[in-house]
Amino acid sequence: MIDLDLIPLRPGFPVGSATSLTVLVRLSADASALPPEGPRPGLNIALVLDRSGSMSGRPLSEAKRCAKAIVERLGASDRLAVVAYDNTAETVFPSMPVRDRDLIKSSIDRIAPGGTTALHDGWHLGATQVARHLKAEDVSRVLLLSDGIANHGLRDPDQIASHCADLAASGITTSTYGLGLNFNEDLMSRMAQQGQGQAHYGQTAEDLMEPFQTEFDMLAALVARKVRLSLSGSPGCHIHLLNHEQRDAAGRIILPDLARAGDIWLLLQIDIAEASPEPANGGKIRVLSAELAFETIDGDSRNTGPFHLDLDPMTPAAHAAQSENVTVRARLTEIEAARLQERARVAAQGRDWETVDLLISEAEALAGQNEWVRSSMATLRGYAARREVRMFSKEARYKSQTMRSRMVARFEDSGFDRASEAQAPRYLRRKLEQGRRSSDED
Amino acid sequence: MTSDLARLKGWEGGIDALIATTTALLTRIEVERGELNLRTVRDYLQRGLLGSTERRGKELHFGYEHILRLAAVRVLLADGWSLAKIAEFLRLSGLSDIESLLPSPKSDALAKLDRMRRESSPHARDVVASSAPVSAAQRVARASALNLELREAMRRLGLPEGAPPVEDLTLVAIAPWFQILIQRDRLPDLTLEDAEELGRAVTASLTHLITRTGYRK
């Protein structure tokens, strides 16, 4: 029920010299094999809200509005816990099936602003609530909201992120929601990345609702979870992952969950020594083999493969003359643009605006026909021109992470217009500014 | 409902049996915080936490729902809830709600979270077991962490470390017994971030007074 394609940037295998190939691994749900849209997996969610002093006023009231909207999206077969944290973490509502929505909402209404930000304590208590009722067939996730830096309790970003990774291996994932200018985007995005959840941020309290809706739309449309990929190169072929570098204890590559109408993807660079593999298989050269493991939403474990990439041998000149695959080029462009944005982000933090401008120009030139990447760079240039370091840093961080790991709409092309994006499910929409709601991007 | 609970359907017994059976259940789901004894259970009964009871002869008689309620009280106490808050929660919850509140037997994830809590700072341990007895070593560790926070807050504000500074200026009365003096010319430039940072410094300063100078009774 999952199709796996191995697509080289150019067809053919250049023989006779050391070379490097770019290959896209693309996974998509086979629509004909999917059951009609119906029940989704049960959700076991802990919503962890920052109620430190800086959340006082509009941010906290908007966070509570989002929390109550989440309550409305859950049913009696889902569980929800609500945790709030400042200097300490408190269980506002213990993990229970969502039967009495009014009771949960009235508990949320009573959350009041407090002191500092014990972010890890909040995450830990939320995760404990989820873990007490862990079932393999449910989607078990901690949703952590923060507008500040972790300044109380455990603060070491490496340790916090490793805790998220450790718990994800036991089936509890972590998504993070940053709010405003002062949260630590490195910590929050790493928690989500290593916690195998999603990373979102909102520039203002009003920008918070859309990311929550996006996450729940995706959870409702899941078709495969716990997607793991094993790759093996032929002798002399060395595989480098250009995104999704995280691996599980068995050494398999951890890929994101797959939802309807979307593709998840991994880009590889394969370095090949001068003595290339011998042709076989009807004269073709086998470069790569892949095997896939995943769980359906019913909790069934599936293994598929092996899938092979076999290429026709040709001279290096003939290979260089082949046309590029536009999908592989688009993904490669986005990964390279993501790298440039990360470098620009470091330069911006050092107030080196000249380098920032050069890197943005480089990314714009690289974008070529990719209108989304080009327009995205224009928004970053605006932050650079206004010397808005914190906003530049956050936008560049989340934009680059999106470009490296986003789920792609099956029939997406290089064009970009907001009207078309609005027709796609939220989790497949491309945004020009990751921290602003789509209706506000004009 | 877990199999542990399913086996207890139809259970009946006196108060000693109630304590023994609930303790065994809590041990299996590994949510226990101190000994569950006769005095504690009588206190819960008086507060109405365990619901109505009947007498058979001179003895109080209990059933499945009492086990559920008693276990739920212990789970929520472990979450740091007060008995008053637990009473309100139980008043609004049906039997199936209370059943679904009780955790499943301990998972690999819970074991990992326990380990993380042990390996984390003393603060993390204090949060999860906030009303557990605090050892002398924990008190020292907590005071040390608070002292560190005080110094960091002072340094961020560009103030000398050690004791809270005092200026004679605009007075802000937070409470009749708690007032703050602020340099008047600084007020127009104060941002929300400044206010948050000052709040932390005030907390750290008061903590310093309480823990280091013996003002606490």
pLDDT one-digit tens code per residue, A144-174: 998 877 777 788 889 999 999 999 999 999 9
CATH number for A66: 3.40.50.410
Number of domains in chain B: 2
Cβ of B127 within 8 Å of Cβ of A89? The answer is yes
B192 in contact with chain A, both atoms CB, cutoff 8 A: yes
Helices of type H across B29-179: 38-46, 64-78, 83-92, 95-101, 108-119, 122-128, 136-156
Range of the domain at B117: 3-122
Contacts of A221 (CB under 8 A, 6+ apart): A37, A40, A259, A260, A261, A425, A427
Range of the domain at A368: 326-440
The residue of B2, B28, B121, B126 whose CB has the most chain A CBs within 10 angstroms, and thus the best one to mutate to test that interface, is B121
Pick from A288-292, B45-49, B157-161 the range whose average pLDDT is largest.
Answer: A288-292
Residue A406: pLDDT over 60: yes
Per-residue model confidence (pLDDT) at position A177: 93
- All residues of chain B having their beta carbon less than 8 Å from the beta carbon of residue A52 are 196
A365 found inside a domain: yes
Average pLDDT over residues A380-390: 94
- DSSP labels, B74-94: HHHHHTT--HHHHHHHHHH--
At which of B100, B122, B144 does a domain end? B122
Q: Give me the residue from A152, A159, A170 closest to B123, CB to CB.
A: A152
Q: Give me the residue from A89, A99, A170 closest to B112, CB to CB.
A: A170
Cβ of A121 within 8 Å of Cβ of B124? The answer is yes
Please tell me whether the peptide bond between A113 and the residue prior to it is cis, using omega within 30 degrees of 0: no
- Between B25 and A362, whose confidence is greater? A362
CA distance B108 to chain A (A): 7
Most distant CA pair in chain A: distance in Å?
A: 71
Pick from A19-33, A76-90, A329-343 the range whose average pLDDT is largest.
Answer: A329-343
Residue B128: pLDDT over 50: no
Pick from A425, A379, A378, A430: which is nearest to A403 by CA? A430
Helix, strand, coil % over all residues of chain B, rounded to 5: 60, 10, 30
Q: Are residues A8 and A86 in the same domain?
A: no
* Total residue length of chain B: 217
Size of interface A-B (CB pairs under 8 A): 104
Closest residue in B to A161 (Cα) is: B116
SS3 letters across A214-254: HHHHHHHCEEEEEEEEEEEECCCEEEEECCCCCECCCCCEE
At which of A283, A300, A320 does a domain end? A320
Pick from B151, B126, B160: which is nearest to B212 by CA? B151
Per-residue model confidence (pLDDT) at position B132: 43
At which of A266, A285, A320 does a domain end? A320
Q: Are residues B50 and B23 in the same domain?
A: yes
A106 in contact with chain B, both atoms CB, cutoff 8 A: no
Q: Are residues B113 and B142 in the same domain?
A: no
Q: Are residues B112 and B138 in the same domain?
A: no
B97 in contact with chain A, both atoms CB, cutoff 8 A: yes
Number of domains in chain A: 3
Cβ of B104 within 8 Å of Cβ of A100? The answer is no
Q: Are residues A191 and A130 in the same domain?
A: yes
Q: Are residues A7 and A73 in the same domain?
A: no
Q: Give me the residue from A99, A133, A167 closest to B112, CB to CB.
A: A167
At which of B122, B142, B171 does a domain end? B122
Cβ of B107 within 8 Å of Cβ of A131? The answer is yes
For residues B191, A153, B203, B78, the Cα torsion angle rounded to the nearest 10 degrees is 120
Q: Are residues A205 and A341 in the same domain?
A: no
Long-range contacts of A384-389 (CB under 8 A, 24+ apart): A384/A344, A384/A348, A384/A353, A384/A356, A384/A357, A384/A360, A387/A351, A387/A353, A389/A348, A389/A349, A389/A351
B108 found inside a domain: yes
The residue of B75, B76, B112 whose CB has the most chain A CBs within 10 angstroms, and thus the best one to mutate to test that interface, is B112
Spatial separation of the C-alpha atoms in residues B214 and B135, rounded to whole Å:
19
Closest residue in B to A136 (Cα) is: B107
Residue B163: pLDDT over 70: no
Cβ of A124 within 8 Å of Cβ of B76? The answer is no
Residue A14: pLDDT over 50: yes
Q: Are residues A291 and A349 in the same domain?
A: no
A121 found inside a domain: yes
What tokens appear for A358 in the block? 């050069």
B193 found inside a domain: yes
B84 in contact with chain A, both atoms CB, cutoff 8 A: no
Closest residue in A to B92 (Cα) is: A103
Spatial separation of the C-alpha atoms in residues A295 and A303, rounded to whole Å:
9
pLDDT band at B20 (very low <50, low <70, confident <90, very high): very high
Closest residue in B to A91 (Cα) is: B79
Q: Are residues A332 and A417 in the same domain?
A: yes
Residue A283 near residue A275, CB atoms below 8 Å:
no
Q: Are residues B55 and B92 in the same domain?
A: yes
Residue range A163-206, pLDDT digits in tens: 999 999 999 999 999 988 888 899 999 999 999 999 999 988 88
Residue A41: pLDDT over 50: yes
Spatial separation of the C-alpha atoms in residues B27 and A248, rounded to whole Å:
32
Task: Output the CA angle A200-A65-A190, nearest 5 degrees.
Answer: 20
Most distant CA pair in chain B: distance in Å?
A: 77
Would you call B84 exposed, middle or buried from its count of C-beta atoms within 10 A (0-12, 13-18, 19+)? Answer: exposed
Helices of type H across A11-156: 58-73, 101-109, 119-131
Residue B4: pLDDT over 60: yes
Q: Are residues B150 and B43 in the same domain?
A: no
Average pLDDT, whole number, for chain A?
Answer: 90
Residue B133: pLDDT over 70: no
A347 found inside a domain: yes
Q: Are residues A76 and A207 in the same domain?
A: yes
A343 found inside a domain: yes
Average pLDDT, whole number, for chain B?
Answer: 77
Spatial separation of the C-alpha atoms in residues B217 and B203, rounded to whole Å:
19
A90 in contact with chain B, both atoms CB, cutoff 8 A: yes
B106 found inside a domain: yes
pLDDT band at B168 (very low <50, low <70, confident <90, very high): low
pLDDT band at B34 (very low <50, low <70, confident <90, very high): low
Cβ of A170 within 8 Å of Cβ of B149? The answer is no
Per-residue model confidence (pLDDT) at position A128: 94
How far out from the chain centre does Cα B86 lie?
12
Cβ of B109 within 8 Å of Cβ of A131? The answer is yes
CATH number for A267: 2.60.40
Q: Are residues A190 and A274 in the same domain?
A: no
pLDDT band at A423 (very low <50, low <70, confident <90, very high): confident
CA distance A102 to chain B (A): 11
Q: Are residues A55 and A121 in the same domain?
A: yes
- All residues of chain B having their beta carbon less than 8 Å from the beta carbon of residue A88 are 80, 126-127, 130
A243 found inside a domain: no
B117 in contact with chain A, both atoms CB, cutoff 8 A: yes
Q: Are residues B50 and B101 in the same domain?
A: yes
Helices of type H across A5-118: 58-73, 101-109
Cβ of B195 within 8 Å of Cβ of A131? The answer is no
Q: How far is CA A359 from CA A331, A341, A381, A391, in A?
A: 19, 7, 10, 17
Cβ of B110 within 8 Å of Cβ of A131? The answer is yes
